[in-house]
Structure 1
Amino acid sequence: MREAPQPHGGSDPQVLDRTGYEVAFDEHFAGSELDPERWVAHYLPHWTTPERSAARFDLLGGALRLRIDADQPAWRVEDGEMRVANLQTGTFSGPVGSHVGQHRHRPDLQVRTAQPTRRLYTPSAGLVEAVLRASADPTCMLAFWLVGFEEGSGEDSGEICVAELYGHAVEPGRSRVRMGVKAHHDPRLHDDVEDVTLALDTGDWHSYAAEWTAGSVRFFVDDRLVRTVHQRIDYPLQLMVDLFEFPEDSDRDPASYPKWGEVAAVRGYRPARAT
C-alpha cells in the first residue's frame, strides 16, 4: 500500500511544498472504527433518509474501502438509480421541509432529515491530500472534494474538485482525472473543470492534492503540479470522499457486487503560524 506523502520542501515550483503548513487533520484509517469526531458516514443526509444516505465501507487496517452493495438503495428516488458511499467532515441544514442545506443540486430540494451543525473539519485555506485507488468499473466514480459548508450563506457553495476518478476514464498506461473548481450557487465563481490525462493507472495508489490561497487553487498528483485555477474560495469548506455508482438501469446482477474504491490516507494542512 502506498504511504501518504510526508511533509517536505523544495525550490521547484512544480513540486508540492509543505514547509509553510502544519498538519490539522491526519487520517490513516488504522483503527477498527471510524472516528466520529472526524467523519460523518452519510452522503448529504439532509436531502434524503438515513437508510439511503448511510455509507457502506470496510476498514482494512490502514485503508478505507468504500463499498456499493447489490442490495443498497438509491440515494434519492427522485435522482434515479445513483448510489453512493460517502464520508464527510461536517453537516448543516435547515428544518424539515425547508430548502436550506449544503450542496443543493436541484432547486426543488427540501430537507427530509434535519441535521445538526457539525464542523468537524471545515478549512477556509490550506492544503488537502488523499491517497486513492479506484476500480475500473465503468459505472463508478471515486471522488475527493471540498464543498462549501454554507451555514453563513447559500452563496458560499463553491467546490474544489480535487479528483474525480471515473472507471471509464482508465486506459492502459494512462488515465483521465477530473479536477478544478465548480461554482454551484456562488456568483463570484465560474465552472473551471478539466479532465487531465496523466501517465498513470488510477487503479494503483496515487496521491491527489489541492492547495488553495487567496487567488488560486493548485492541483497536484503524486506531488507534481498538474493544473492551476485562478479563482478565490476563502470560506469554510467541508471535506468529502465518496464512491458513486451510476447504473444504467434498475436491473442489477448480484455477481458484479460489491463495487469499491479505496482511500489509504487523508491529510489536511493549515498555514503555519508565525513564531
Structure 2
Amino acid sequence: MVRTSNLARRAAALALCAVTAGCTAGAASPGIGDVEPLIAPLAAADWQLVWADEFEGDTLDRSKWVPEQSCWGGGNNERQCYTDRPENIAVEDGKLVLRARRETLTGPDRPPEIAADPNPLVTRQFTSGKVRTRGLHAWKYGRIEARAKVPAGQGMWPAIWMMPADDHYGSWPLSGEIDILEAVNIGASCGDCGGGRGENRTVSALHFGDPWPDNSYVSNRTALPSQALPSDDFHVYAVEWGEGLIRFLVDDRVHFTVTPDQWHTASPLARGNRNAPFDQPFYVMANLAVGGDWPESENDRGFAEDSVPNQFAIDWIRVYRCASDPQAGRACIKRN
C-alpha cells in the first residue's frame, strides 16, 4: 500500500501494485542520521488552505472521498477486504475511523481501474477501510498534511499516501508514488529502536524508476523526539512538495528531504525533464491494511491475532498551496 520502502517487500511487488501503499523494490536511502532536523511550522511559510476534510458530522463526505472495495491484497499478500460499510469506514467524534475487523467476507478482487472483466470474487478473513480522492480531487505541488493516530500491533499497516491522477508517465512506478505516512508493527519487538517499548518509527517514501521488478524507491524511518510510540497520541504527518524538492515532516520536524538527483522515471515522456515523475497532479488516500509481506517479515514476524480488532483514526486532512509561488511551490519550502 499508500507504499513504503522495505527490502522484504521486493519479492512480492506486482506490476499492478500502483493502487496500494506498499509495493517496493530498490534501494532504501539513508536517513538524516544525527543531523538536527529543520523545524518548518505551517505558520512560518505562505501556505494557503485550498482543500480540507475536518471529518465533522457522522457520514463520509462523498464529494471528497470514494471508498475502495477490493480484496486482492494490494500486491503485498495483505489479508483484508476493503469494504464500503460503516463497520469499516466511519466518521465519528470529529474523526475518520478506519477499522480492521476479524470476519469472513467475500468481495471484488480488484478496484475498478485495474479489475478484470468480469472481476472475480475473493474471500478474506479480515475487513478494513480505505478511502481515496481519486477521480474527485488531485493536486500538483503544495503541503499535504494529516493529523492521525496510528494503531499498534504486529501486522497493522496504516498509511496516508498519494498516487498520480492519470499515470501521465505510465503505470506504476513510472508515474511515481508519494508515501506521507506508513507505520508497521508499532509496539512490536525492535532491536534498532530507542525508548524501550518496541517499534516506534514511522516511514515516508517515494517510489519511481524503471518498470517492475527493476523499480526503485527512497525512504526514511523516523522516531518521535521523545521516543514514544506514535500509537499513543495524534501527530501531524506532512509532505511539502515543490518543483524539484520534496520533504517529509512529523509534527513540523523535517525528517527526510529528496531532490531530483535521487529520483527518475524510465518513461520516454520524461526525457530532459529532471522533475518527472513528480511534476503531475496526485490524489490522496488513507487505509489500514491487515498483514502483508512487509509487516509479516519484520519485528516479531508473522501476524499477531490479537492485533485485530483495531483502528486508524484521522482527525483531519488538509491541502495547502504556496500563495506566493502557486506554480512551483518552492517559495514556501524553506531550506536550512
Verify same fold: TM over 0.5: yes
What's 2:311 paired with? 260
1:63 is matched with which residue?
95
User: 2: CA distance between counterparts of 1:151 and 1:272?
Assistant: 27
1:123 aligned partner: 139
The aligned residue for residue 241 of structure 1 is 286
Shift of the alpha carbon at 1:238? 0.8
1:14 pairs with one of 39, 48, 60: 39
Q: Determine the structure 2 residue equivalent to 1:41.
A: 67
How far residue 200 of structure 1 moved from its aligned partner, in angstroms, is 3.3
Q: 1:271: Cα distance to partner?
A: 2.2
Letter in 2 for 1:167: N
Counterpart among 205, 215, 221 of residue 244 in structure 2: 215
Matched, 1:25 2:51: yes
Q: 5+ residue gaps in structure 2?
A: 1-36, 75-79, 110-120, 189-195, 261-274, 297-302, 327-336
Secondary structure of the 1:71 match is: strand
Query: Is the deviation greater in 123-132 or in 257-266?
Result: 257-266
SS in 2 for 1:243: strand
Q: Are 1:141 and 1:166, in contact at CA under 8 Å, matched by a contact in 2? A: yes
Task: State the distance in 2 between where 1:146 and 1:273 align.
Answer: 24
Task: Give TM-score scaled by structure 1 length.
Answer: 0.71
Query: Could you tell me which residue of structure 2 aligns to residue 86 of structure 1?
Result: 130
Higher deviation after alignment, 75-84 or 122-131 = 75-84
Counterparts of 1:264 and 1:256 in 2: how far apart (Å)? 22
CA spacing shift, 1:151–1:183, aligned 2, 3 Å: closer
Who is 2:259 aligned against? 230
What displacement does 1:218 show? 0.9
Percentage of pairs with the same residue: 23
Structure ranking higher in helix proportion = 2
| Conserved? CA contact 2:154–2:186, under 8 Å | yes
The one-letter code of the counterpart of 2:98 is L
CA pair 52-22 structure 1, distance change in 2 beyond 3 A: same
Q: Any conservation in 2 of the 1:43–1:87 contact (CA below 8 Å)?
A: no
Q: Which runs of 4+ in 1 moved over 6 A?
A: 44-48, 77-82
TM superposition shift of 1:190? 4.0
2:67 aligned counterpart, secondary structure: coil
> C-alpha distance in 2, partners of 1:184/1:80?
32
| Aligned position for 1:271 | 322
The alignment status of 1:158 with 2:144, answered yes or no, reads no
RMSD: 3.8
The amino acid across from 1:179 in the alignment is S
1:195 aligns with 2:235: no
Count residues in correspondence.
Answer: 232
Q: Is contact 2:202-2:222 (8 Å) kept?
A: yes
- Asked whether the equivalents of residues 134 and 167 of structure 1 are also in contact (C-alpha less than 8 Å), the reply is no
